[in-house]
Structure 1
Amino acid sequence: MATLRSSSLVAFLALCLTTLPTSLGSSSPAPIIVPVQRVVNSSTSGHNLVKAGQARFEAFNRIQTRTKGFASAAPPSTSLTDQIVTFTINSVVAGKNFSLIVDTGSSNTWVGANPANRLQPPATLDLFEVTYGSGAVLGLETDETVNVSPDLAVVNQSIGEAIESVGFDGVDGIMGFGPVDLTEGTLSSSPTGTIPTVMDNLFSQGTISSETLGVFLAPTTEDDPVNGELSFGGVDTSKATGPMSFFQSTLPFWAISQSATFGDTTIMNLTTCVVDTGTTLVLLPDDTFTAYQDLTGGTPDANTGLLSITPAQLDNLQTLSFIGTDVNGETQHFDLTPNAQLFPRALNTEIGGSADGIFLIVASSGSSAASEVGCIMGQSFLQRTYSAFVTPSGDSSGAGTVGFATTPFTDATTN
């Protein structure tokens, strides 16, 4: 999904030195690697995928305009696990195992979505409440040791223990990897305060030397469900085939400014795009999506709600490129090849489509590019790149950077 147009070894080494933050240099300790599991929701339809993505989009825009104070959860319009694929990590809290969604689009960490796998209620009346647009949770906040993996523990982590949640079938909760600002207003005892994230505490406790999260997600096939990894404290260069390029992020999300072209045609001017592991599709502003649909010749499929194209249209499908200016002032292209724009055919029947159908992973956000947030670069983008989310010098109040690099899957024909 990302085809950078400088691929020589010399360029790779030079850009590694100039684009990586100091904390990611060769003198840094090796990052701690945690495997990511893939959970396929066989009850999801394509219509749910679009609806869930648009609900996430609406939630991001609501947060931009929210009033200060303790959250007030509205009924969710769809389930977070309506995404066809959910990426999770297995963590241990208070001696119990939990399967937690890996979510760069939120920042609270909580457990107990499965009523059969809840902790004892903490001795506190400190309420937490989070609405995701595609799910909601209410519970009590407490401090626990969170074993992110057997080799990675964070002590005195403030986490939520759910009393009631909606929209989290098949998982136990969320580990939020967004900027700490997203936790503002979620705690009753501090209506305008924030809750240090897992990444904040790992850094402040000296467990990692850089507040950097690397994310590697392989495209979804019928292979082993362990098909990704999180890299805590740095990037895993073994997963990248090109240099990391970093883009300035704007709070309170991991959001970057990008334009887009389809072939030689510009279809989106600079727009704020959230980089989100919790959304399956790539969501574009309504007018951009209309232009994309016209250029691809795709038509909405009645069964899935996704754009459907013919084999002849696939032969003529052009590359969808996201284009931005990196922190060094250089223009970078990260590309979705024609194959990368296809919904995984192995999952066609899981979303109600025909097994031999050709569906596209690009949908409308339901809003315009003038919105505070204009698009979402979801899993379908991230499965074609290596991504990194960096908070500068552990300063959780400062805007960070989002980095991308090519991987062996960038130009692969997995779909």
Structure 2
Amino acid sequence: MAAACSFSLFALLVFSVTNVPPLVRGLSPVPFIVPVQRLVNTSTTGHNSVKVGQARLQAFNKARSGDFAASVPPAASLTDQIVTFTINPVVDGKNFSLIVDTGSSNTWVGANPENRLQPGLSLDLIEVTYGSGAVLAEAIEDSVDIVPGLVVENQSLGNAIASEGFDGVDGIMGFGPVDLTEGTLLADTEATIPTVMDNLFAQGTIPNETLGVFLAPTTEEDPVNGELSFGGIDTSKATGPMTFFQSTLPFWAISQSATFGGTTIMNTTTCVVDTGTTLLLLPDDSFTSYQDLTGATLDATTGLLSITEAQLSNLTTLSFIGTDINGETQHFDLTPNAQLFPRAFNTEIGGSADDIFLITASSGSTAASSIGCIMGQSFLQRTYAAFVTPDGDPGAAGIVGFATTPFTDATTN
């Protein structure tokens, strides 16, 4: 089996590259660490989670084409994801449970009508469609207390008037690039709305506009199984140096190819790195190749790929390969165990305890599409990820970094 991860040892040199801030080494401790809560949806199935991912990818492609305000009919609820990760900020004295979403950039509250803020006097409206949900909200400004000491002053956010697809949560905190907010302010569709990260940096609360994301694999243990680091990277969670890839606006999107057991299954494709998607979604032809090579069958109940014990023993490495910002080829490998859906939750998605499901699904797109791939939670739970806006310039193309963690090689599923 190939090593779990192969990175060149350039972590100390990478920061001499133009527009990459010095934030990995020498920044200790990280200014603010915020715990992430894990919500497991026991009423969904793999079918719904696949549909949500596919709907999000369709919405991503519309935004990539410049159609930021396109109305995408909700195909399923965003909270039909099998797993949702949330944080719990305070706004105007109220506690909110907000989805951590690197695939969108607006922040809004009030999905739960019983937990909305008092209506303001704003004549401006915000409308956001996610492909897997939507919200219409009044635009307000308020302080957002993420944790004590980490407060965003005068944050423009939405106070929901109506929303669809957000059962069990109060809204979203968007961590995508600011370009994704274009078209959401109905009074001025060419305007953008500064994100939480933009304002934290502009207000001097964090030293650089960097979000670190650490998610542990989903188990039946403590629901607090991850963290966000604001203004730097928590190197205590990484077991190796960071490797950085250039991102392309308006998303945290990087170019990757993929091999399974050394066989190429995906040519270079634009992949969105998305905390708001549960599964790992590959272009349809790549998914078909992966299914053929694993021998998996599509389970009619869950909509996930299923393999036998014999096929599990033959499962090999799924590698994502890309060119880093230094022009060097890097790869991150998902071990056989990392490709498995957590068995502890098999029965909760309609399967049996002895089933062996895989985390990979079809994106419903092709590699030739603007965006054909989503590297969702199932990928991020095996890596430490960093999302960097260089020099705090919201209009600049970002950088996405990965490092190995103790969970990269872990046997958890």
Q: Does 1:16 align with 2:11?
A: yes
Q: In structure 2, what is the equivalent of residue 328 of structure 1? A: 326
Q: Find the aligned partners of 1:257 and 1:240 in 2 and give their Cα distance.
A: 23
Q: Which of 256, 261, 286 lines up with 1:258 in the alignment? A: 256
2:128 to 127, 130, 133: 130
Q: Does 1:38 align with 2:33?
A: no
Contact 1:3 1:333 in 2 (8 A): no
Q: Tell me how far 1:255 sits from its aligned partner.
A: 0.2
Measured in 2, the distance between the counterparts of 1:324 and 1:54 equals 23
- Give, in angstroms, the shift of residue 72 of structure 1: 5.5
Q: Is the 8 A contact 2:24 2:242 kept in 1?
A: no
Cα distance in 1 for residues equivalent to 2:400 and 2:229: 14
8 Å Cα contact 2:72-2:130 kept in structure 1: no
Tell me: CA distance 1:63–1:2, structure 2 relative to 1, closer, same or farther (3 Å): farther
CA 197–364 in structure 1, closer or farther in 2 if over 3 Å, else same: same
Contact 1:56 1:133 in 2 (8 A): yes
Which residue identity does 2:234 align to in structure 1?
D
Cα-to-partner distance string for 1:98-138 (whole Å, 9 max, x where unaligned):
00000000000000000000000111110000000000000
Deviations 1:1-33 (A, max 9, x none): 993225xxxx7xx52212354330545463210
The CA deviation string for residues 158-179 of structure 1, in whole angstroms up to 9 with x for no partner, is 0000000000000000000000
Q: Which residue of 2 aligns with 1:77?
A: 75
Distance (whole Å) between structure 2 residues aligned to residue 210 and residue 23 of structure 1: 9
1:44-193 correspondence to structure 2 within 5 Å:
44-67=44-67, 71=69, 73-193=71-191
Aligned-residue Cα RMSD (Å) equals 1.4
For 2:168, give the aligned amino acid.
G
Matches of 1:246 and 1:2, distance apart in 2: 19
Q: What amino acid does structure 1 have at the position aligned with 2:171?
A: G
Distance 1:41 1:287 in 2: 29
Residue 387 of structure 2 aligns to which amino acid in structure 1? Answer: F
- Indicate the residue corresponding to 1:4 in structure 2: 5
Asked whether 1:358 is paired with 2:356, we answer: yes
Secondary structure (helix, strand or coil) at the match of 2:411 reads coil
SS at match of 1:414: coil
Contact 2:21 2:391 in 1 (8 A): no
Q: Give the distance between the partners of 1:315 and 1:152, measured in 2 at CA.
A: 47
Q: Which sections of structure 2, spanning at least 5 residues, go unmatched?
A: none
Matching of residues 144-293 of structure 1 within 5 Å: 144-293=142-291
Distance 2:352 2:24 in 1: 48
Gaps of 5+ in 1: none
| Structure-1 separation of matches of 2:297 and 2:12 | 45
Q: Letter of the aligned partner of 1:49 in structure 2?
A: S
> Within 2, Cα distance between the matches of 1:25 and 1:376?
25
Check whether the contact 1:2–1:385 (CA below 8 A) recurs between aligned residues: no
Name the CA distance, whole Å, in 2 between partners of 1:134 and 1:95: 29
Rounded to whole Å, the distance in 1 between the matches of 2:200 and 2:22 is 15
For the Cα contact (< 8 Å) 1:28–1:209, is it kept in 2? no
| C-alpha distance 118-371 of structure 1, shift in aligned 2 (>3 A) | same
User: AA paired with 1:362?
Assistant: T
Question: Is the Cα contact below 8 Å between 2:276 and 2:376 reproduced in 1?
Answer: yes
State the alpha-carbon separation in 1 of the partners of residues 358 and 5 from structure 2.
Answer: 23
Distance 1:78 1:155 in 2: 34
- C-alpha distance in 2, partners of 1:88/1:178? 15
Q: Partners in 2 of 1:79 and 1:39 — Cα distance?
A: 14
**With structure 2 as the length reference, what TM-score do the two structures score?**
0.96
Residues of 1 paired with 2:263 and 2:218: CA distance?
Answer: 29
Post-superposition offset of 1:350 = 1.0
Deviation at 1:74, TM superposition (A): 4.2
In structure 2, C-alpha distance between the alignment counterparts of 1:202 and 1:387, rounded to whole Å: 19
Question: What amino acid is aligned across from residue 296 of structure 1 in structure 2?
Answer: T
- For residues 176-198 of structure 1, what are the alpha-carbon distances to aligned partners after superposition, in whole Å with 9 as ceiling and x for unaligned? 00000000000022211100000
Q: 1:217 to 1:125 in 2, by over 3 A?
A: same
Deviations 1:49-99 (A, max 9, x none): 11111111111011122447xx35443111000001100001000110000
Q: Does structure 2 conserve the Cα–Cα contact (< 8 Å) formed by 1:391 and 1:400? A: yes
Tell me the SS of whatever aligns to 2:89: strand
Distance 1:3 1:165, change over 3 A: same
Contact 2:24 2:235 in 1 (8 A): no
Over 3 Å counting, the alpha-carbon distance change for 1:376 and 1:334 in structure 2 is same
Q: Following the alignment from structure 1 to structure 2, what is the Cα–Cα distance between the partners of residues 72 and 328?
A: 36
Distance in 2 separating the partners of 1:129 and 1:74: 12
Report how far residue 46 of structure 1 moved.
1.1
Normalised by the length of structure 1, the TM-score is 0.96
